[in-house]
Structure 1
Amino acid sequence: MKKRTIYSSVAATVIFLVLMIVTPTIPQSQAYHAFADQRSFFGIPNALDVISNFPFLIIGLIGLVLCYFPDDYFKFSLRGERLGWTCFFLGVMAVAFGSSYYHLHPDDARLVWDRLPMTIAFTSILALFVIERIDEHKGTYSIVPLLLAGLVSILYWRFFDDLRPYALVQFVPCIAIPLMAILLPPMYTHSTYWLWAAGFYLLAKVEEAADKPIYSWTNHIVSGHSIKHLCAAMVPVFLTLMLGKRTVQTERISLYKTWKRSRGKGSKEESFECTYSNVAVQETR
């Protein structure tokens, strides 16, 4: 197992270096800071983009409290889970402050404090998936290296104006987590909540890209970026609900196999319902 881990780490490093060599740099576009809704309310510039971050503070605080009180509410049973979820909920709480600070006066210097908390949340979630679905010891040991990788990706972008490492840190969990949620057998029930969370995050990215069109479609009532904050806040909401509802699986079966079984049963039931027997009809005179 140690050799496999070493080989995997070396392979991942080589792939990363090759990508850094063969792909062009991705500088931060200054047009990114020109959000659609720039209205001020009660003296707050870009008010809705600032205020819409408030749900992150609430759900992050609730999740953090429930990690420790009352009486181990989430009932963690694996090594490193409490640490991983603590980092995640701290990152979610920090998003409220970092993103609000950035949106008060959007520029590259403030964008660091917007992206850093999100990176903490992304990397924590990836480590938690390794803990539950692959190996709890490796997952626990990966928490700090993954957090450091996220920090390095932010610093690399800031000092070299290259978004490639940050994009990798952000989008690898977006691809890996739904795939692992479907293909790898979970230790706990309610795995579908991961897919709901991933769906809301994907919706948030679409709304972010459609910031100005949504602002126009809503007759300048709300922008895509403000709605994006609310949808992104649904990710920790679903994960908190999952933690509160889940129990240890008696039989570890992946979602893919569960769906496959359901389809198989449905097919059998359908074939049973559509099977008819010939009945002889006796003519009467």
Structure 2
Amino acid sequence: MRKRTVYAWGVAILSFIVLMIVTPAIPQSQEYHDFADQREFFGIPNTLNVLSNFPFLVIGVIGLVLCYYKNYFKLCLQGELWGWTCFFIGVAAVGVGSSYYHLDPNDARLVWDRLPMTVAFTSIVAIFIIERIDDKKGTVSIIPLLLAGVISIVYWRFFDDLRPYALVQFVPCIAIPLMAILLPPMYTHSTYWLWAAGFYLLAKVEEAMDKVIYKWTHHIISGHTLKHLFAAMVPVFLTLMLAKRTIETNRISLLKTWKVSWTKIKGNGSKVESCTYTYTSVQPEDSH
């Protein structure tokens, strides 16, 4: 197992090096800071983009408190507690850092928006490794993954190259839903991971359509404001999952569960069809 772990890390590092060599640098576009909704209310610049970050702070603090409130989430492993603690700290910090950035959008402030997001992303990956692969490996990976996230931000800031940060942000978006579907869970309510992933995908679409949505809504709300609100649903769903879940006694992947359910549905359909056919073929009894 140790050799496999070394090989896996070796392949990952080699792939990253090759990617950095063969792909061009991705500089930070200054157009990114030009958001559609720049209205000011109550003396707060870019008011809605600032205030829409408040849910992150609320759910981050709630999740952090519940992690330590009489083991409310019933976290069975020490690594889980550390991982979820880092995650909720990252979520709460997004509420502060993103608000700070949107008060006066620029590259220097953007660091404090993205840094806590990388903490949340990398913590989730570690949590998934703990839950779905191996608790010891997942626990050991928490610090290296957090460092990888921090380094990606530092690299972008010093070299104006977003490639490492893009990997930190988007690899979990692909890996986590796949792992949630393919790998057997330790706990129930695994579908909440997919709900969270779905809301994050919608948030990224709304971010890309910032100005279009602002125009569609007749300048009522922008895509970026909606992005914040939809992205905040990710920790909401994960918090609900933690509150509801129990130990999974029969560890079966979601993919296998869906296959079994589909087989049952097909089987029930076949039975209904055969019963219907038998019924229609029965002749009425002779009254004589």
Both structures adopt the same fold (TM-score exceeding 0.5): yes
Query: What does residue 34 of structure 1 align with?
Result: 34
Kindly state the Cα deviation for residue 282 of structure 1 after the two structures are TM-superposed: 7.6
The answer to whether the Cα contact below 8 Å between 1:183 and 1:255 also exists between their aligned partners in 2 is: yes
Structure 2 gap ranges (5+)? none
Structure 2: distance between partners of 1:226 and 1:150: 25
Query: What does residue 271 of structure 1 align with?
Result: 270
Structure 1: distance between partners of 2:287 and 2:75: 75
Structure 1 gap ranges (5+)? none
Structure 1: distance between partners of 2:82 and 2:7: 27
Kindly state the Cα deviation for residue 78 of structure 1 after the two structures are TM-superposed: 2.2
Query: What does residue 188 of structure 2 align with?
Result: 189
Count of residues in Structure 1 that have an aligned counterpart in Structure 2: 284
Deviations for 1:222-254, whole angstroms, at most 9, x for unmatched residues? 110011000000000000000000000110000
CA RMSD of aligned residues (A): 1.1
Query: What does residue 240 of structure 2 align with?
Result: 241
Query: What does residue 17 of structure 2 align with?
Result: 17
Deviations for 1:102-148, whole angstroms, at most 9, x for unmatched residues? 00000000000000000000000000000000000000000000000
Structure 1: distance between partners of 2:254 and 2:5: 26
Structure 2: distance between partners of 1:158 and 1:133: 34
Deviations for 1:147-193, whole angstroms, at most 9, x for unmatched residues? 00000000000000000000000000000000000000001000000
Query: What does residue 45 of structure 1 align with?
Result: 45
**Paired residue secondary structure (1:35):** coil
Structure 1: distance between partners of 2:73 and 2:158: 40
Query: What does residue 5 of structure 1 align with?
Result: 5
Query: What does residue 68 of structure 1 align with?
Result: 68
Identical residues among aligned pairs (%): 73
Kindly state the Cα deviation for residue 281 of structure 1 after the two structures are TM-superposed: 6.6
Structure 1: distance between partners of 2:117 and 2:55: 14
Kindly state the Cα deviation for residue 279 of structure 1 after the two structures are TM-superposed: 3.7
Query: What does residue 108 of structure 1 align with?
Result: 107
Structure 2: distance between partners of 1:239 and 1:136: 19
Query: What does residue 253 of structure 2 align with?
Result: 254
Residue identity in the other structure for 2:134:
D
Residue identity in the other structure for 1:2:
R
Question: Within 5 Å, which residues of 2 pair with 1:136-285?
Answer: 136-275=135-274, 276-277=277-278, 278-279=281-282
**Paired residue secondary structure (2:230):** helix
The answer to whether the Cα contact below 8 Å between 1:79 and 1:136 also exists between their aligned partners in 2 is: no
Structure 2: distance between partners of 1:243 and 1:169: 24
The answer to whether the Cα contact below 8 Å between 1:78 and 1:132 also exists between their aligned partners in 2 is: no
Question: Within 5 Å, which residues of 2 pair with 1:114-125?
Answer: 114-125=113-124
Kindly state the Cα deviation for residue 280 of structure 1 after the two structures are TM-superposed: 5.7
Structure 2: distance between partners of 1:232 and 1:87: 18
The TM-score, its normalising length taken from structure 2, stands at: 0.97
